[in-house]
A and B are shown apart, each in its own frame.
Chain A
Amino acid sequence: MSRPTVSQERRSELEHKVQKSKEIIREAFGKFDAKQLAVAWTGGKDSTTMLWIIRQVCLEDGFTQPRAMFIEEGDTFPEIMDFVSEVSKKWNVDLDVCMNKDVHDAAGGVLGAKVLVSKLNERNQREIRERLKLDVESFPFEAESFIGNHLMKTVPMNIFIEKNSIKGIFQGLRWDEQPARKQDEYFEFKEKEDLQPPHTRIRPILHFMERDIWDTIFTFGIPHVCLYEQGYRSLGAKTTSVKLSNVPAWEQDLEHTSERAGRRQDKEKMMERMRKLGYM
């Protein structure tokens, strides 16, 4: 298996980017107490790299490592669960695995199973009726459908933030992930809304491109989940992440092909468009 090696010049470039991230992270620690901060960790290459950089800052400046929030959406790759478990032990990370158990149990834990809205708890019902403004009686249990994404990912995150009085949450988003991201800022304050606690979202690695992440991983020896070796470029829920290649992610043509081509969530967006255009 070939691992990319980088030139001195490139290494220097990467160190620069890491340094920039550290500045953002330090700014966050300046604004908030370590106990009020948390890291949204998916086990993917971006958030793991971000977690590593946060860890470096904590080691360097003597901060307490913020707790990590891992969202179990009911359709997680076992490889990712194992990886997250392993790394959190190695790095002494306070890990919180969050799940919308109510929805998961209503589906009997079975993907695709029909969930009756009336059987859900009040919070979930309100989320569907008031936040999503949907007037449905049931929906299939899928992590990356419109409803699924909200109930299984956004809701647990909001509950986690509320429960732990989190003021700032680190997210591993990058500008080049998709065009919608181009407007993202390092610090974004989310106002209090019904069912959403006020909090700041901090994105320390926005300026990293996909190639930069891989080069950083190999240059600094940051762990990554084995699924990338198998050809997955982008990881989401297990049933909706498709690998379009058998070649390790970092060996694929990152610059000219789409990182998210195999992500079902984007397929959802598109199918929604097709529906609106009269096609389905």
Chain B
Amino acid sequence: MNHVFWMSLGGRGANIGMIATLPDLHGFSGERGMDPVRNVVLVTIDALRQDMLATYGHRGGLSPFIDSIADSCVVFERTQATGPYTQASFPGILTSSHYFDHGRSTHLSQQRTLISEPLRKAGIVTAAFHSNPYLSEYFGWNREWDVFRDFMDVDVSDTVPFLKGDDINRHASDWLSSHVGKRGYKSFFLWVHYMDVHEPYVPRRNYLKMVHPSVELSEDEMFRLFKDVLLKRNVSDKQRVDLLRKLYEARVREVDDHVKQLFGMLEQLEVLQDCIVIMTSDHGDEFGEHGGLSHDGKMYQELLAVPLLIFDPERKRKEICSKLVSSIDISPTIISLLGLDPVKNFQGQPLLPAGDYEEEGCFGEAVEKLGHKTNERDKEVYYYMEGDLKIIYRGNTDAWEIYNLRDDPDESNNLIGATPESEQIARMRAVLKQRIGRWK
């Protein structure tokens, strides 16, 4: 393998990259090599199902911008969230640990290491912009960030009970433009979280027209659907469930524009070339696949399969990684990209270079709450996935489920008891058993 050293002069910094030339007439694969990147941006989109993006098979054109940059991305086809809803999933994303590692608690345990902490120690500036109450200052998520805006103090409407992507972008842009305004600005880690796909599904009219022109509902009617169908988890009327899905899809189309706007902003500030952008979601949403709606304490793929794309401005060809990875690997990846020492408390591993990633099997856990009210008496639900096999334990009913996702991607055929347990299944069951109630 020949190595070529080159200097790329662009924008505000010089990158020295090492390119391995492949026996490829068209030149190189465009990999950066593992030299540290200057800045990292993390974009998390709440409740975005993996199968909404063209890169993951959707044919409805819901994500033209993300599709357009896919060639500059490493796409992780099999990414598992660590939980089916925000509270259970985000400890995975930002602390590389599992939801019940320190017991069942709502506040961010001091024993966890939040991504902002090692970055602060390394002198990297950190900024967070979101509007999800579960990730607010109140629960301790603001720890160590240089800038942390959760916008809990802002008034919101019933139909859009969060800050829209364009507002999030505006705030992020205000901060970033003042940060990079000086020459030789400090490396930064920017995290933006978009709530635009999250229920209640009341999309802006123009987006609904773009993706489902036949749907003509007033805002009131859309909100009524949220109250009467979604909140009640009422899947009896297939048409109405389908309508919900269409509204959701219009929202996906909308958030794609916000991602586009963010990239435009990074480009305009001339920092995009010095950024790696990680895009993912915390969980999906159900549309009746397992008799429910929204995102309850259930461990099925419509909730756990999340998109994960890592954008590298120097990449010229999409790389698809089919290894089974977890969002628990995201924070270690950020650390590694910025050239920092691994963090002891992080349980995951760096995702890049994808070729070096060692599949380990994924875990997830949550409170098995069903329906939109939480009940303290609810027990926990867990999953463990290895290769194509997924095992689930439901505490409320003391029930086990096993699915072969290759043969049965819909997870409708529970293999428990159906066939004699293979060695692998027996082993997986034993592994998951160890995690049940482990903090007690």
Residues of A bordering B, CB below 8 Å = 178-180, 256-258, 260-261, 266-267, 269-271, 273-274, 276-280
C-alpha spacing A274/B198, complex, angstroms: 12
Contact A277 B153 (CB under 8 A): no
Contact A256 B143 (CB under 8 A): yes
Separation in Å of the A225 CB from the closest CB of chain B? Answer: 24
Interfacial chain A residues near B13, Cβ < 8 Å? none
Known: A258-B140, A270-B138, A270-B152. 16 other contacts (CB 8 A): A179-B149, A179-B153, A256-B144, A258-B138, A261-B138, A266-B137, A269-B153, A273-B131, A273-B133, A274-B133, A274-B134, A276-B158, A277-B162, A277-B199, A278-B372, A280-B372
Separation in Å of the B87 CB from the closest CB of chain A? Answer: 10
- Given contacts A279-B374, A280-B373, whether A273 and B138 have CB atoms under 8 Å apart is no
Give A178's nearest chain B residue, CB to CB. B153
C-alpha spacing A261/B143, complex, angstroms: 11
Interfacial chain A residues near B136, Cβ < 8 Å? 270
Chain B contact residues, majority secondary structure = loop
Interfacial chain A residues near B235, Cβ < 8 Å? none
Contact B140 A270 (CB under 8 A): no
Separation in Å of the A131 CB from the closest CB of chain B? Answer: 16
Contact A267 B138 (CB under 8 A): yes
**Does chain A have a CB within 8 A of B203?**
no
- Given contacts A274-B133, A277-B133, whether A258 and B153 have CB atoms under 8 Å apart is no
C-alpha spacing A271/B156, complex, angstroms: 13
C-alpha spacing A46/B373, complex, angstroms: 38
Residue contacts A-B, CB under 8 angstroms, 9 given:
A180-B154, A260-B137, A269-B153, A273-B156, A276-B156, A276-B161, A279-B374, A280-B372, A280-B373
**Does chain A have a CB within 8 A of B262?**
no
Contact A261 B137 (CB under 8 A): yes
Please give me the 6 A-B residue pairs with the lowest Cβ-Cβ distance, nearest first.
Answer: A276-B161, A180-B153, A273-B133, A270-B133, A258-B137, A278-B199
Interfacial chain A residues near B153, Cβ < 8 Å? 178-180, 269
Interfacial chain B residues near A279, Cβ < 8 Å? 372, 374
C-alpha spacing A178/B134, complex, angstroms: 18
Interfacial chain B residues near A180, Cβ < 8 Å? 153-154
Separation in Å of the A250 CB from the closest CB of chain B? Answer: 20
Give A271's nearest chain B residue, CB to CB. B133
Give which listed residue, A256, A273, A278, contacts B230 with CB less than 8 A.
Answer: A278
**Does chain A have a CB within 8 A of B336?**
no
CB-CB contacts below 8 Å: B157-179 with A? 158, 161-162
Give which listed residue, A257, A258, A278, A280, contacts B294 with CB less than 8 A.
Answer: A278
Contact B140 A261 (CB under 8 A): yes
Give A258's nearest chain B residue, CB to CB. B137
Chain B positions 99 through 140: 1 when the CB is less than 8 Å from some CB of chain A, otherwise 0: 000000000000000000000000000000001011011101
Chain B positions 355 through 372: 1 when the CB is less than 8 Å from some CB of chain A, otherwise 0: 000000000000000001
Interfacial chain B residues near A274, Cβ < 8 Å? 133-134
Separation in Å of the A17 CB from the closest CB of chain B? Answer: 23
Contact A273 B161 (CB under 8 A): yes
Contact A277 B152 (CB under 8 A): no
C-alpha spacing A280/B153, complex, angstroms: 19
Separation in Å of the B135 CB from the closest CB of chain A? Answer: 11
Give which listed residue, B138, B162, B374, contacts A266 with CB less than 8 A.
Answer: B138
Contact A277 B374 (CB under 8 A): no
C-alpha spacing A273/B152, complex, angstroms: 8
C-alpha spacing A273/B161, complex, angstroms: 6
C-alpha spacing A269/B143, complex, angstroms: 20
C-alpha spacing A247/B207, complex, angstroms: 53
Give A262's nearest chain B residue, CB to CB. B138
**Does chain A have a CB within 8 A of B82?**
no
Interfacial chain B residues near A266, Cβ < 8 Å? 137-138, 152
Separation in Å of the B367 CB from the closest CB of chain A? Answer: 12
C-alpha spacing A269/B152, complex, angstroms: 7
Contact A278 B231 (CB under 8 A): yes
- Given contacts A258-B137, A266-B138, A267-B138, whether A280 and B374 have CB atoms under 8 Å apart is yes
Give B158's nearest chain A residue, CB to CB. A276
**Does chain A have a CB within 8 A of B151?**
yes
Chain B positions 274 through 294: 1 when the CB is less than 8 Å from some CB of chain A, otherwise 0: 000000000000000000001
Give B200's nearest chain A residue, CB to CB. A278
Contact B226 A278 (CB under 8 A): yes
Interfacial chain A residues near B226, Cβ < 8 Å? 278
**Does chain A have a CB within 8 A of B96?**
no
Interfacial chain A residues near B198, Cβ < 8 Å? 277
**Does chain A have a CB within 8 A of B142?**
yes
C-alpha spacing A182/B350, complex, angstroms: 39
Interfacial chain A residues near B156, Cβ < 8 Å? 273, 276
Give A276's nearest chain B residue, CB to CB. B161
Separation in Å of the A209 CB from the closest CB of chain B? Answer: 15
Separation in Å of the A177 CB from the closest CB of chain B? Answer: 10
C-alpha spacing A265/B93, complex, angstroms: 29
C-alpha spacing A179/B153, complex, angstroms: 7
Give A181's nearest chain B residue, CB to CB. B153
C-alpha spacing A274/B133, complex, angstroms: 7
Separation in Å of the A260 CB from the closest CB of chain B? Answer: 8
C-alpha spacing A180/B231, complex, angstroms: 31
C-alpha spacing A267/B373, complex, angstroms: 17
Interfacial chain B residues near A271, Cβ < 8 Å? 133
Interfacial chain B residues near A178, Cβ < 8 Å? 153
Interfacial chain B residues near A270, Cβ < 8 Å? 133, 136, 138, 152
Interfacial chain A residues near B200, Cβ < 8 Å? 276, 278
**Residue with the highest number of chain A CB atoms closer than 10 Å, among B133, B136, B143, B294:** B133
C-alpha spacing A271/B134, complex, angstroms: 10
Separation in Å of the A20 CB from the closest CB of chain B? Answer: 24
C-alpha spacing A258/B140, complex, angstroms: 8
C-alpha spacing A277/B133, complex, angstroms: 9
Separation in Å of the B30 CB from the closest CB of chain A? Answer: 40
